[in-house]
Amino acid sequence: MTAALIDADAHAALEQRVTELETRLAFQEHTISELNDALTAARLELVAQTGLLRRVMDDLRQARTVQFPDPGQEPPPPHY
């Protein structure tokens, strides 16, 4: 083989490797972008669910207070 043929083969192999690396990089960038979008949506959903849970817990506390008032605030039973 001549030096020119070896150089052409090496150049073609390097070009193929660069193309493959560029393809992998593009795929990884796309995947990272999709994961970022999914993470952002999950965080927004978590914030919404946390707010909803707080409201439910507040409502539950209020309902318990109405249904089971503090025993110290009730008048004593009539038999005392």
Does this model's pTM top 0.85? My answer is no
Structure tokens at 31: 């995947």
The predicted-structure confidence for 56-73, as pLDDT tens digits, reads as follows 999 999 988 887 777 777
H helix or E strand, kind and range, residue 48: helix 3-67
The domain locations on the chain are 31-65
Q: In whole angstroms, what is the distance from residue 56 CA to residue 62 CA?
A: 10
The predicted-structure confidence for 26-40, as pLDDT tens digits, reads as follows 999 999 999 999 999
